[in-house]
């Protein structure tokens, strides 16, 4: 995190602090603002940037313009997803909002494919502050900083000072990018109206929205379809070749998908970890049925998570870590498993 931004946040922190259950309850029901320090930002620039990304990314980069953002990802040669992220275009350059612990790995992977292309790839996390604003009044609040805020999912609203990306959620939800000084101005204004919550509350809202953003614990573990990427506009099967595309397309057209991403609740008072394994009651000894992508406290009971699970085991009783671990209950996602 930008050290000056961190110092500013520390200086403005309220005396009263909330636990995760309270923060997530606020995220469900109220107007909130939070620092999104769990994400970093990569910029891809140059005359060949779009063509380069088209040869690496799972989605159709040619559909991105300066009024839209896009869910996307890139994979290894085996079709396993190394990272997934939201990407947007601003002032002719492309920006990738990636989990912080995948920034270095992502840049290293992409650099391997640059070759002679006129492309530059850089970590610009320190240069732009990343803030989340969510709630019924998010649009009117942000309209004080950007006129004519777009309310369509995945839209981009911007001016010379601010970028606001509309993301999935039950309530209006925006990720805002801006300079340090403009971030202070926005925070000073909106934090007087909204509840300030921890950044993990944003991950909780991503879980509720069924948005499976992987981190280092599950990087390289899943093909995109296992995380429902093709159901939430994160994969194009018509854009042409990209690294891992042959395996991903074969699974789509010829194969039978054996794993899916589900929303679950885990009956425990202790927070599980991303990457923790799940087991079914009928599983062979030592054989897991899936893994957690991300997990956060449910305000009422236990922990909610997004997890990749063997479809065949979803009718069985599931447990965390082993057959003696906490019980798991499947919850409903906000979208269907029927492909679009």
For residue 340, pLDDT beyond 60: no
Domain boundaries, the chain: 3-208, 224-331
Span 218-248, pLDDT tens digits: 999 999 999 999 999 999 999 999 999 999 9
User: Rounded to whole angstroms, what are the CA distances from 62 to 69, 121, 176?
Assistant: 12, 19, 23
Residue 286 has pLDDT above 90, yes or no: no
**Binning pLDDT at 50, 70 and 90, where does residue 253 land?**
confident
- Report the C-alpha gap between 198 and 28 in whole angstroms: 13
CB 266 within 8 A of CB 209: no
Is the pLDDT at 148 greater than 60? The verdict is: yes
Topology of the domain covering 224-331:
Elongation Factor Tu (Ef-tu); domain 3 (2.40.30)
Domain at 3-208, CATH class: alpha beta
Q: How far is CA 56 from the centre of its chain?
A: 19
**Residues with Cβ within 8 Å of residue 10, at least 6 apart in sequence:** none
Which token pair is 7?
């110092």
Helix (H) or strand (E) holding 103, with range, is helix 103-111
B/e letters for 91-122, b = 16+ CB within 10 Å, e = fewer, are eeebbbbbbbebbebbbebbeeebeeeebebe
pLDDT tens-digit series, residues 64-75: 999 999 999 999
CA distance 296 to 157: 29
Return the pLDDT at 16. Answer: 56
Q: Do the domains spanning 3-208 and 224-331 agree at the CATH topology level?
A: no
Q: How confident is the model at residue 53 (pLDDT cuts 50, 70, 90)?
A: very high
The predicted pLDDT at position 239 comes to 92
Strand order from edge to edge, sheet including 162-166: 156-158, 162-166, 173-178, 129-134, 32-35, 195-196
What is the length of the chain?
340
Q: Taking the model in full, what pTM does it have?
A: 0.96
Please compute the mean of the pLDDT values over residues 188-216 and round it to a whole number.
97
**CB-CB neighbours of 274 under 10 Å:** 20
The percentage of the chain sitting over the pLDDT mark of 90, rounded to a whole number, equals 89
Nearest alpha-carbon partner for 50 in 40, 36, 64: 64
Q: Residues 181-207, buried b or exposed e (16+ Cβ, 10 A)?
A: ebbbebbeebbeebbbbbbbbbbbbbb
């Amino acid at each position: 995190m930008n050290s000056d931004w961190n110092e500013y946040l520390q200086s403005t922190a309220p005396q009263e602090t909330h636990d995760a259950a309270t923060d997530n309850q606020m995220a469900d029901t109220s107007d909130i603002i939070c620092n999104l320090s769990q994400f970093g930002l990569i910029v891809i620039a140059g005359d060949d940037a779009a063509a380069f990304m088209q040869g690496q990314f799972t989605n159709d980069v040619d559909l991105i313009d300066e009024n839209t953002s896009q869910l996307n990802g890139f994979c290894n040669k085996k079709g396993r997803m190394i990272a997934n992220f939201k990407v947007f275009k601003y002032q002719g350059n492309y920006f990738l909002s990636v989990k912080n612990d995948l920034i270095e790995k992502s840049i290293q992977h992409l650099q391997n494919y640059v070759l002679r292309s006129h492309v530059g790839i850089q970590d610009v996390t320190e240069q732009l502050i990343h803030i989340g604003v969510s709630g019924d009044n998010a649009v009117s609040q942000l309209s004080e900083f950007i006129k004519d805020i777009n309310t369509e999912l995945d839209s981009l609203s911007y001016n010379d000072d601010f970028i606001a990306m509309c993301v999935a959620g039950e309530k209006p939800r925006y990720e805002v990018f801006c300079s340090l000084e403009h971030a202070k101005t926005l925070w000073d204004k909106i934090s007087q109206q909204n509840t300030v919550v921890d950044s993990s509350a944003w991950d909780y809202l991503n879980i509720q929205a069924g948005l499976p953003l992987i981190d280092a614990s599950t990087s390289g573990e899943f093909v995109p379809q296992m995380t429902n990427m093709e159901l939430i506009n994160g994969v194009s099967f018509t854009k042409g070749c990209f690294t891992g595309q042959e395996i991903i397309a074969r699974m789509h057209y010829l194969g039978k998908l054996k794993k899916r991403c589900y929303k679950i609740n885990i009956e425990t008072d202790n927070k599980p970890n991303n990457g923790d394994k799940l087991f079914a009651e009928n599983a062979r000894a030592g054989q897991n049925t899936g893994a957690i992508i991300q997990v956060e406290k449910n305000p009422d009971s236990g922990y909610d998570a997004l997890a990749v699970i063997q479809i065949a085991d979803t009718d069985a009783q599931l447990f965390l870590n082993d057959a003696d671990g906490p019980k798991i209950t499947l919850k409903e996602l906000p979208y269907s498993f029927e492909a679009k």
